Structure 1
Amino acid sequence: MVVPLYKLLCLLKRTQMLLLCLGIAYLMAGSLLLLQRSTIVRVAQPNLSSLPPSLSLAAPPAALGTAGLGIRTRPRWVAVQAVSGGGGRGGRHWPSSRHLGVQHFHRRWFHSLLPESPEQRAPLHRNSRHKVRNIYHRGCFKLTKNTIGTFPVHSFQPNLTTQSCIETCTDKEFPLAVFKKPQCFCTGMSSVFSINQESPKQPCVEKAAPNHSAASALTVPAEHDGYQVYHTPVLDSRCKERMFLPQRSPSLVALSSFPGAGNTWVRHLIELVTGYYTGSFYFDGTLYNRGFKGEKDYWKSGRSICVKTHESGQKDIEMFDSAILLMRNPYRSLMAEFNRKCAGHLGHATDVQWNSKEWPEFVSSYAPWWASHALSWLKFGQRLLVVHYEELQRALLPQLRFITAFLNVTVTEERLLCAQSNQDGHFKRSGTQQPSFDPFTSDMKQMIDSFIHTVNQALQGRNFSGLPQVYLPR
C-alpha cells in the first residue's frame, strides 16, 4: 500500500514542476510583448516650414496594416498622441535607439510564431508562369561556326519555332536560347553575347524590341541571316551567388521609397547586379522566404549593401549616411500599394474594393504622404541619388550603373546580364488585371497633380532633374 502511494506522490510532484515551468515560460513571453508595447515615446514632428499646409503631417497614415495576404510589420512605430495643442489626431514615431536592439529580438521571436501565409507556402517556381515570364530578347548576332560548335546543346527540327527552342533550353536548364530556323542552340552566359557586341548591321530581318515579354518576342520571324538570342527563365549559376558584405560597412545606405514605388523590385535588381543582400527596416516573412535573406538581419548591422525604408521623419533620415530615393508616378504607386494592401504582393484589388469607401480614404491619406516623403528626404538627406521607377523601366542597364557607382560597387558584365535577363523577379505584379474604370475622381486628380508640381519644384531646387513627363498630364 505504501509503494503505490509513494509513486502517486512522485507523479504529482513532477506534474507540479511541469506546470510551474510552463507558467514561467508563459509569463516570460507575455512580459516580452508587454515590454514592446509599453515603449512609448513622445517625439515632436519635424517642422517642415517649406511644405504647403496640406503636407504638414510627414508621418505615414495609421492605416498601414495590411489586409489580405501581405504582411508588412513596422515594429519600430508606436502610436502617440499629438504633442501640439488642438490636435486630437495621433501620429506615429519611432522609439529611442536604446530600445532598437530589444525590439529587433522581439520582432524575430514574434514572427517565428506566425503561420505562413498562402504566398509563403507557394512554390518559388510556378510551371504555369515559368515559360511565359522572364523571357527576353537578348539581340541579333552573327556567329561563326567555331563559336556555334562550342554550344553544349544543338537541336535540329524542320518545324522548329522560337517558342519550342526556348522551351527546349529551359527544360535543359540553360539561360540562353540561340535560334535560327531550323536550328536551336542552348548555352550559358558568354562574352560572345556581350552587351556591347550586338551586331550593328542588324542581320535579322526584323528585330524585337528590347525587354519584350515572351508573348511579343515569340512573334519575331525566323527567316534571317543572323541568330536570335533569348534569355530563358533559367537563372545562370553565377547570378545565384549572393552574400552579406564581407566586412561590415561603417555607413548605412537607405533605399527609400513611398510604398508601391517598386522598392522590392529594385532590391531584387541590386542583389542581382552586386551579389550582396539588401536589408530592411521592417520584416516581411514572404520576402524572406522568397530569397531576401537580409530581411531578417538587423538593419543597422552593416552587412547589407543598402536598407529598405519607407520612413520620412527627420531623425529617421538622419540615421542614414546616404540614400537612394526611389520615386514613382503617384497614380501608379497608390494603385500598387492599394493592390498590395487588398491582395498581397502579387494580387489585385477587385472592382468592389475600388468602389468601396476604403479607396477614397486611402487616397486622401496616402497621397499627401507620397509628397511629404519625397520632400522630407530632399530636405534632410545629405547624400542622395534620385532614381525614377520609369527610368529604370526605360533604360535598365544605364540606371543600374548609376546605382552601383553610388553604392561604390564594381560590377561585372555577367552581373549586368543577370539583372537584365532576370529583371522581373518573383514579385512582378501582372499589369493585365486593372480596374474596369478610372478609380481616380477629378478631385483626387486635382489634389495629386498639385503634389506632383510641389515635388517637381523641390527636386529642381536641389539641382536634380525634374519628374518625368509621364507624371503629367494624366
Structure 2
Amino acid sequence: MKTKPFYSSLIIAIMIFLIFICINSESGDYKEIDLPKLNFENGENRTEYFPFKKDPECMNFSTRLLQNNSLPPRALVSFMGSGNTLVRTLIEALSGIFTGFDRTFVNEQFYEKGFYGEVRDFRDGSTILQKTHHFLMDNHFEWKSDVFYRFNYVHRFQGRGVLLIRNPFDAIMSTSNLQIPQNGTIPDYAEMDKYLNPQFQHYALKSIARWFIIIQDWLEFGTEVDIIFYEEFIENPLFYTENLLNKLNIPIDEKRKKCLSKNLEGLLEKHHRKKHHNKYPYTQQHILLFRKMIIEASKIVEKRTGRLIPLHKYKCFNNCANLTPYYSTDI
C-alpha cells in the first residue's frame, strides 16, 4: 500500500514530460535564437564550390563552410525521393553555406556534384542544414523502427529540423528507382514495366508507413520544426528558399539572389527530373492505404503547425481511376 504514492508520482511525472514535448512541438515557427557571427573558413585550403561558374557576371559567388560551432545542428529531413537534393542545391546557392549529411560515409556521387559539406561531421556547426532520411540505415534500404531509437535520432539534431513533405504517390515511385540498379548508378527514370511486379507492390506498402512515421516523429518529438511542402516549393522555389533562410536568420546578399534568379532554370534542370509518369502502378490496396496515411499525416501537421498539406495538389489522392490503368479500380 505504501508504494501507491510512488507510482502515482511516477505517472504524473511521465504525463508532465509528454505534455512538455507536445507544447514545444505546437508551433511550426522557429524560436528566436542568438546566433554567433557567421565566419567562413579561410585560408588557401578552404573548401569552395562555385554554383554559377558558367555565368561571367556571377561566377565569383562561392559556397563555403563555416567555422566550427557557427550554427546549431538542424536536419533537412524527408522521405527519400521528396526533393531533398533540389532544396539543398538552392539553399547552398542562395546562402553561400554548404549543407551537410548525417552519415559516416561519403557519397561520391553527391560529392562530385559539389556537396562538399557531406565530408564534415554534421554536428560540428560548419553547415547550415544536414540532410537525413530519419531512421534510414547506411545501406539506404533498411530502417530502424524502434521508437526510442527514433526519438533519440530526432534529438541528435537537438529537436531542430526542416521537414520536407512530398505526395507519397510520387515520392515512392521516385525513390523506388534506387531499387533498380543500372551499372551501380542512380537512374533518372524507370520505365513503367519496372514497377508492375510483386516486389514494387510490397515495397510501396512498406514505404507509405515509413513516409508517415517520418512526419509523425518529427512533429511529435521535434522542438523547432518547420515544414516545406514540395508541391508548393517547386512552383516558387526562390520564394520558399528565401523564406526559409529568413526564418533561420541567415543574411541574404541581394546580388547573389539576382544571380540565383537568373540561373534558377539551369539548376532546376540539373537537379529536378524532367521526365515524369502520368500513370501510377498502384493497386486498390495501395490507394486506400495511401489515402488513409495522407489523411492522418495531414491531421498531425494541422494540429502541430496550423498548416494544411496541399491535398488539392496531390495527384491520385482524390481520383485515381484514370491514373491507374494497370489494375482495375473504381475508387
Q: Does structure 1 residue 254 correspond to structure 2 residue 254?
A: no
Question: In structure 2, which of residues 279, 287, 305 is the aligned counterpart of residue 463 of structure 1?
Answer: 305
Q: Hey, what's the Cα distance between the residues in 2 that align with 1:464 and 1:419?
A: 31
Residues 70-115 of structure 1: per-residue CA shift (max 9 Å, x gap)? xxxxxxxxxxxxxxxxxxxxxxxxxxxxxxxxxxxxxxxxxxxxxx
Corresponding position of 1:356: 197
Structure number with larger C-alpha Rg: 1
Corresponding position of 1:315: 152
The verdict on how the C-alpha distance between 1:333 and 1:418 changes in structure 2, with shifts beyond 3 A counting, is farther
Displacement of 1:470: 1.3
Q: Does structure 1 residue 334 correspond to structure 2 residue 155?
A: no
The verdict on how the C-alpha distance between 1:466 and 1:458 changes in structure 2, with shifts beyond 3 A counting, is same
Corresponding position of 1:302: 125
Alignment of 1:38-437 (within 5 A): 174=55, 188=57, 236-239=58-61, 241-249=62-70, 251-282=72-103, 283-312=106-135, 313-321=150-158, 322-342=160-180, 343=182, 344-420=185-261, 421-422=263-264, 423-424=267-268, 426-432=270-276, 434=277, 437=279
Corresponding position of 2:33: none
CA contact (8 A) 1:346 1:427 kept: no
Displacement of 1:250: 5.3
Q: Hey, what's the Cα distance between the residues in 2 that align with 1:255 and 1:174?
A: 29
Q: Hey, what's the Cα distance between the residues in 2 that align with 1:440 and 1:294?
A: 37
CA contact (8 A) 1:278 1:307 kept: yes
CA contact (8 A) 2:72 2:123 kept: no
* 3-state DSSP of counterpart to 2:179: helix
Q: Hey, what's the Cα distance between the residues in 1 that align with 2:306 and 2:120?
A: 33
Q: Hey, what's the Cα distance between the residues in 2 that align with 1:382 and 1:418?
A: 34
Displacement of 1:431: 1.7
CA contact (8 A) 2:215 2:297 kept: yes
Displacement of 1:454: 0.2
1:426 partner letter = K
2:177 partner letter = N
Corresponding position of 2:142: none
CA contact (8 A) 2:162 2:226 kept: yes
Residues 168-218 of structure 1: per-residue CA shift (max 9 Å, x gap)? xx9xx556xxxxxxxxxxxx3xxxxxxxxxxxxxxxxxxxxxxxxxxxxxx
The verdict on how the C-alpha distance between 1:305 and 1:425 changes in structure 2, with shifts beyond 3 A counting, is farther
* 3-state DSSP of counterpart to 1:359: helix
Q: Hey, what's the Cα distance between the residues in 2 that align with 1:418 and 1:259?
A: 29
Q: Which has the higher contact order (CA 8 A, sep 6+)?
A: 2
Unaligned runs of 5+ in 2: 1-17, 19-51, 136-149, 320-331
2:257 partner letter = L
Root-mean-square deviation (Å): 2.3
CA contact (8 A) 1:326 1:388 kept: yes
Residues 313-350 of structure 1: per-residue CA shift (max 9 Å, x gap)? 11110111311111111111111101233254442223
Q: How many residues align?
A: 243
* 3-state DSSP of counterpart to 1:325: strand
Percent identity reads 24
The verdict on how the C-alpha distance between 1:291 and 1:272 changes in structure 2, with shifts beyond 3 A counting, is same
CA contact (8 A) 2:192 2:281 kept: no
Displacement of 1:425: 6.0
Displacement of 1:269: 0.7
The verdict on how the C-alpha distance between 1:330 and 1:418 changes in structure 2, with shifts beyond 3 A counting, is farther
Displacement of 1:247: 4.5
* 3-state DSSP of counterpart to 2:227: strand
Q: Hey, what's the Cα distance between the residues in 2 that align with 1:174 and 1:264?
A: 22
* 3-state DSSP of counterpart to 2:245: helix
Displacement of 1:391: 1.1
Corresponding position of 1:162: none
* 3-state DSSP of counterpart to 2:200: helix
CA contact (8 A) 1:375 1:458 kept: yes
2:294 partner letter = I
CA contact (8 A) 2:71 2:128 kept: no
The verdict on how the C-alpha distance between 1:346 and 1:418 changes in structure 2, with shifts beyond 3 A counting, is farther
Corresponding position of 1:441: 283
